[in-house]
């Protein structure tokens, strides 16, 4: 396709496309003449991916570049690879409940409206313009309120900004898993089988992460106890000198 066709299909200006090529986010086009070039579906797939990563995941271009640089081939970014798996998986994982009013839900479960606003401000949950939450964000809000009720409060130094770090770790894991899935599994299965595999794998991965986290937490607590006991048995030999 020509530049004007790529602009129209991707919704990206030619100035931005040329900038992405200079920055290594897009491969060089095939030059047919000195002032003429053709672009492929790979260019279009990458442009769509860049837009989504920027607008939906808020990733900077440096991070997006590193994601692309990790793969020897960009076949996994092809728009023709498992075109329906996104919709199938979202329908299965996000179709369990209707949207809920954020403020009403917060009050119903005994939450603080200020904490609701804080969670939305830092991006832990997303409140739609009509004031509603997705089913998943509603569950996240309830869990945040449960933590607050247990005593993990802002007054004690706990803030929703800490959950942003957790989200960043999860996003990194998800990005790697998606790339590996499309590189290793997608070429061998259809949309329906891919959705089945992904749905079951997400459940297993969630359980694995919970077990890994609990195991590491208990191990660190045991190490902390060992160090604390050693310190109690072997106090510093030098004592402060009293002043007359």
* Tens-digit pLDDT profile for residues 73-122: 456 667 778 889 988 998 888 876 789 999 999 999 999 888 888 899 98
User: Is 175 inside any structural domain?
Assistant: yes
Structural domains in the chain (count): 2
Question: Cβ distance 137 to 126 under 8 Å?
Answer: yes
**123 inside domain:** yes
Pair (150, 175) in one structural domain: yes
CATH number of the domain enclosing 30: 1.10.1660.10
**Is residue 241, in this structure, part of any structural domain at all?**
no
Looking at 51, 77, 103, the residue that finishes a domain is 77
SS3 30: strand
Q: Distance between terminal CA atoms of the chain?
A: 89
- Are 21 and 105 in the same domain? no
Any domain includes 238: no
Q: Note the pLDDT of residue 238.
A: 46
pLDDT, position 203 = 94
Whether pTM > 0.75 for this model: the answer is no
| Residue 238: CA count within 13 A, CB half-sphere | 2
What domain range is 216 assigned to? 85-231
Lowest mean pLDDT among 19-23, 73-77, 147-151, 152-156: 73-77
Could you tell me if 179 and 70 are in contact, meaning their C-beta atoms sit under 8 angstroms apart?
Answer: yes
Distance CA 54, CA 12 (A): 13
pLDDT band at 244 (very low <50, low <70, confident <90, very high): very low
**Judgement on whether residues 201 and 132 belong to the same structural domain of the protein:** yes
Quick check: is 16 in a domain?
Answer: yes
User: Do 225 and 107 reside in the same domain of the chain?
Assistant: yes
User: Which tops the pLDDT comparison, 179 or 208?
Assistant: 208
Whether residue 68 has pLDDT greater than 80? no
- Compute the distance between CA of residue 34 and CA of residue 63 in angstroms, rounded to an integer: 33
The pLDDT, as a whole number, for residue 209 is 95
Give every CB contact of residue 162 below 8 A, 6+ residues apart in sequence. none
For residue 113, give the nearest of 131, 96, 134 by alpha carbon: 131
pLDDT for 112 equals 87
Same domain for 63 and 104, yes or no, is no
Pair 109, 222 in one domain: yes
Same-domain check for residues 52 and 98: no
**Among residues 77, 95, 129, which one ends one of the domains?**
77
Whether residue 161 sits in one domain with residue 142:
yes
Clarify whether residues 99 and 174 are in a common domain.
yes
Q: 136: number of CA atoms within 13 Å, CB side? A: 9
CA angle 150, 156, 157 (to 5 degrees): 115
In a domain, 239, yes or no: no
Of 56, 77, 98, the residue at which a domain comes to its end is 77
């Amino acid at each position: 396709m020509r530049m004007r066709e790529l602009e129209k299909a991707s919704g990206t200006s030619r100035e931005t496309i040329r900038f992405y090529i200079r920055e290594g986010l897009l491969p060089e086009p095939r030059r047919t003449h000195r002032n003429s070039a053709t672009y492929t579906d790979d260019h279009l797939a990458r442009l769509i991916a860049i837009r989504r990563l920027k607008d939906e995941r808020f990733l900077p271009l440096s991070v997006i570049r590193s994601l692309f640089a990790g793969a020897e081939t960009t076949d996994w970014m092809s728009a023709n690879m498992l075109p329906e798996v996104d919709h199938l998986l979202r329908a299965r994982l996000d179709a369990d409940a209707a949207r809920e009013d954020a403020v009403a839900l917060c009050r119903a479960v005994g939450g603080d409206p200020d904490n609701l606003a804080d969670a939305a401000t830092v991006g832990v949950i997303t409140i739609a313009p009509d004031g509603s939450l997705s089913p998943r964000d509603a569950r996240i809000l309830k869990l945040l309120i449960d933590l607050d009720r247990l005593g993990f409060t802002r007054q004690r130094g706990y803030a929703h900004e800490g959950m942003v770090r957790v989200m960043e770790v999860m996003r990194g894991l998800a990005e790697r898993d998606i790339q590996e899935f499309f590189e290793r599994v997608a070429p061998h299965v259809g949309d329906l089988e891919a959705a089945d595999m992904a749905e079951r794998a997400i459940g297993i991965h969630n359980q694995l992460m919970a077990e890994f986290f609990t195991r590491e937490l208990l191990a660190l607590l045991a190490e902390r106890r060992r160090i604390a006991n050693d310190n109690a048995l072997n106090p510093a030999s030098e004592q402060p000198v009293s002043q007359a």
